[in-house]
A and B are shown apart, each in its own frame.
Chain A
Amino acid sequence: MAQIAVNFKLTPDGVMEYEVSGATGQSCLRHLKPLVDALGGEQMIVAKPEMFVDAPVGLVHEAPQTIQSSI
């Protein structure tokens, strides 16, 4: 098992953002997708798309390097 460290920010509106820049693998988003799905709402995502070629369609965008979900 490997470990992913994620920095997050929870805004006063209940929006959770994850900062995942600097990823060296392709699986980061795939592992975080259950979290995005659970929180629902608008999802504005991550980092450099070429790092996440296996990520679900529509989950990856250009910068800003955050994943955002709202309740």
Chain B
Amino acid sequence: MSHYNSVGIEIKSVEGILAALAELKLKPIVVDKPVALKGYEGDKREQLAHIVVPGRTYDYGLTSVSNDLGFYREDDGRYTMHVSEYDSGMLHRRFSRPFGVAFKQAYAMAMAKQALPGLNLTSQSVAADGTVTGSFTIEVPDQVVSVGI
């Protein structure tokens, strides 16, 4: 049985969390009343969550022995993320950086896409230290602006 780790995150909107998860191609379920997360054998854990990414929906390209990933809404509106040690390692491998890092970056990119609806990501790569670099284009009306490094 893999131990769960919990970490508080600053994002208060469920929409923001869902957008970040979508950016990472994870498929969450949102519930009104918190539910117990399940381990890979279907066993209920003590950790509760309002947003659950079922372990069976992960796509590591390996075996399906993942535990649920979850986000619990605290009384002050902030969320606590619960992720098992096993899946922390697997998610790290999948995203080439710690999941917490990938999640923050996914949130920033999701917000960028929402703020600039015409944003078209043209390149993206992850460095060894977790830094993501890339480029995107946006459409602007009737003005020609040349921008680059």
Whether B132 sits at the interface, judged by CB under 8 Å, is yes
Cβ contact within 8 Å between A3 and B139: yes
Q: Interface residues of B, CB < 8 Å — how many? A: 37
Whether A38 sits at the interface, judged by CB under 8 Å, is yes
A6 to B139, CA, bound (A): 11
Cβ contact within 8 Å between A71 and B111: yes
Cβ contact within 8 Å between A14 and B129: no
Cβ contact within 8 Å between A8 and B134: yes
CB distance from A19 to the nearest CB of B (A): 5
Cβ contact within 8 Å between A28 and B147: yes
Cβ contact within 8 Å between B135 and A25: no
Cβ contact within 8 Å between B140 and A71: no
Cβ contact within 8 Å between B149 and A4: no
Whether B62 sits at the interface, judged by CB under 8 Å, is no
**Chain A contacts of B142 at CB under 8 A?**
1-2
Whether A56 sits at the interface, judged by CB under 8 Å, is no
Cβ contact within 8 Å between B140 and A2: yes
Cβ contact within 8 Å between B148 and A5: yes
CB-nearest residue of chain A to B132: A10
Chain A window 23-57, contacts with chain B (Cβ cutoff 8 Å), 1 for yes, 0 for no? 11101100110110111000000000000000000
Chain B window 112-149, contacts with chain A (Cβ cutoff 8 Å), 1 for yes, 0 for no? 10111000001000000111111111111111111111
Given A21-B148, A23-B146, A39-B112, decide whether A4 and B101 contact each other with a Cβ distance below 8 A: no
Partner of A3, one of B105, B109, B114, B137: B137
**Chain A contacts of B137 at CB under 8 A?**
3-6
Residues of B within 8 A of A (CB): 10-11, 97-98, 101, 104-105, 107-109, 111-112, 114-116, 122, 129-149
Residues of A within 8 A of B (CB): 1-16, 19-25, 27-28, 31-32, 34-35, 37-39, 69, 71
